[in-house]
Amino acid sequence: MADLGFDGNIKVSFVPTVANIAGPTVTELNAGVELEGRLTAEGLAISSETADVDTSKLNSTANSGTIGRDTYSVGVTYVRGDSADTEAQAVQTALVRGAAGFLAVRRDKVSTAAWAAADKVELYPVICRRPNPAPPAPDALQTVEVGMAVTDGNKVRAIDNPATVAAGA
pTM recorded for the entire structure: 0.91
Partners of 79 in the beta sheet? 143
Residue 142 has pLDDT above 80, yes or no: yes
Round to whole Å and give the CA distance between 18 and 167. 13
pLDDT of 4 reads: 65
Structural contact between residues 131 and 91, judged by C-beta atoms closer than 8 angstroms: no
Round to whole Å and give the CA distance between 152 and 96. 19
Structural contact between residues 58 and 17, judged by C-beta atoms closer than 8 angstroms: no
pLDDT of 2 reads: 74
pLDDT of 9 reads: 86
> What are the tens digits of pLDDT across the range 29-64?
999 999 999 999 999 999 999 999 999 999 999 999
Q: Give the percent of the chain with pLDDT over 90.
A: 91
